[in-house]
Amino acid sequence: MEKHTAANADAFGIDGAAVAEDALPQKKQKKPINQQKLQDNLWGWIFCLPLIVGTIWFVFICLVAALLLSFTDYSILRGSMFGYLAEMGDHIMHASDGTADPFYWYKTIFDYNYDGMNTYIELAAPYKMNAMGAYLFNTVFYMIGIPIGMILSMFFAVCMTRDIPGANVFRVIYYFPCVASTVSIVYTFKLMFSPTGVINQLFGIDGTDGGNAFVWLQISGNPPNTWNMLTEQEVDSAFMADPFWCQGIISKLVIIIMSVWKGLGGTIILYIAGLSGVNAATKEAAQIDGANGWQIFWKVTMPDLYPTIFYNIVTAVIGGMQIYMEPVLLLGESPLTSGYVSHIYRYGLQGGNPTPSRGAAYGMVLAVMIIIMTLFQFYLDSKNKD
């Protein structure tokens, strides 16, 4: 066919060899290598390498190791953790009757006295409460600050995007707490709420009168032992006579205030960045159509700001479930005020013979709870998009 085509081309005065060459499939030409781009990519991977290695080692590998560890009887006194895991089959946790029970630690979490392991705290006699439930209640209570922080940061971000004098100065001022260390912030709040601190002075009291109604606002004071004492009532109710729900309630509120104040600046910056991406043409069109400022905010600004809101909520919930330093530094480790991570530390690393395998089991429960909550938020996000 090619010969026939070339002959016909020659008959019409066309170069048959050229036609035959054009009929052949063309070889794919190699694109020249951009040396500058290759070098930029190489340096990019070099800078990312520490983060990649750290994530693989300290997150993924350690997560798998902690999961395997939670089925064993490992303690710090037994030597190398990874050497212990290499012989994991010989170290599966056993109950007191000698039977192998890999889920031993998980059963102690949800049982008051599984196999003789006391995992409860004393409430008003004769009531007891599972220790995990107490610490988890504190964690969930502290998460009240998440919606409060979201609303306040949104309000301040909208104000700072207005054309007002000194807006940039306010952005820096609100971001200062994010730069300060948690220890310094906790120490400041501890001084503020001390018996002779500025809070009691603002109320006009010295904080030393044990019968004063404002003493229970103090971090270092003596809160009422029961709700009956707090409300000066004599109600025959287990709840009213229960010291657990009463003690530390105001201290928990102080921790919420401190956490909101500390995290406000970072959230404001993210909202300001999101507000700068709102479509100005859409807002202008809404104004022309007669929409007021409130309608523009809900119908135009909020939909464009939704990705930022979703990111802030997801990260805030994950961080809130892992709260640890603030309650411990401010009030000390206690089931009345400490978060769930303190519960992990208490059994996994604290004491004369800590048991990391037990702490790992409690950590796995926390990881599952965080994963479930995160997946639920993504599910709600997908339903919202539909």
Q: Is 35 domain-assigned?
A: no
Do 153 and 75 lie in one domain? The reply is: no
Q: Domain end: 113, 141, 169, which one?
A: 113
Do 258 and 318 lie in one domain? The reply is: yes
Residue 274 contacts by C-beta under 8 Å, 6 or more apart in sequence? 304, 305, 307, 308, 309
Write the single-letter amino acid at 165: P
CB atoms within 10 A of CB 110: 12
Is residue 82 within 8 A of residue 88, CB to CB? The reply is: no
**Cα separation of 247 and 219, whole Å?**
11
Q: Domain end: 60, 89, 113, which one?
A: 113
Do 67 and 126 lie in one domain? The reply is: no
Q: Is 152 domain-assigned?
A: yes
Q: Is 16 domain-assigned?
A: no
Q: Domain end: 113, 147, 173, which one?
A: 113
- Identify the three-state secondary structure at position 74: coil
Do 167 and 214 lie in one domain? The reply is: yes
Do 168 and 104 lie in one domain? The reply is: no
Cis peptide before 126 (omega within 30 of 0): yes
Do 102 and 226 lie in one domain? The reply is: no
Is residue 199 within 8 A of residue 217, CB to CB? The reply is: yes
Q: Is 316 domain-assigned?
A: yes
Tally the domains of the chain.
Answer: 2
State in Å, rounded, how far the first CA of the chain is from the last one: 58
Helix (H) / strand (E) containing 106? helix 104-110
For residue 315, the enclosing domain spans 122-385
- Looking at residue 20, what is its pLDDT? 53
Mean pLDDT by 10 residues, the chain (386 residues): 51 53 58 75 91 91 88 78 74 81 84 69 67 86 93 90 79 86 88 77 62 48 64 72 67 88 90 85 83 84 88 92 90 83 84 80 92 91 77
Do 96 and 176 lie in one domain? The reply is: no
Is residue 20 within 8 A of residue 2, CB to CB? The reply is: yes
Do 76 and 158 lie in one domain? The reply is: no
Q: Is 210 domain-assigned?
A: yes
The first and second tokens of residue 309, run together, are 């809101």
**Cα separation of 48 and 287, whole Å?**
46
Do 323 and 286 lie in one domain? The reply is: yes
**Cα separation of 80 and 242, whole Å?**
44
pTM: 0.77
Q: Is 236 domain-assigned?
A: yes
Do 94 and 192 lie in one domain? The reply is: no
Residue 252 contacts by C-beta under 8 Å, 6 or more apart in sequence? 138, 141, 142, 337
CA atoms within 13 A on the CB side of 334: 14
Nearest to 362 by CA among 130, 132, 77: 132
3-state secondary structure 29-54: CCCCCCHHHHHHHHHHHHHHHHHHHH
- Looking at residue 323, what is its pLDDT? 92
Please report, for the domain that includes residue 264, its CATH number: 1.10.3720.10
Do 197 and 309 lie in one domain? The reply is: yes
Q: Is 135 domain-assigned?
A: yes
- Identify the three-state secondary structure at position 97: coil
**Cα separation of 238 and 242, whole Å?**
6
Q: Is 139 domain-assigned?
A: yes
CB atoms within 10 A of CB 121: 16
Nearest to 112 by CA among 139, 134, 138: 134
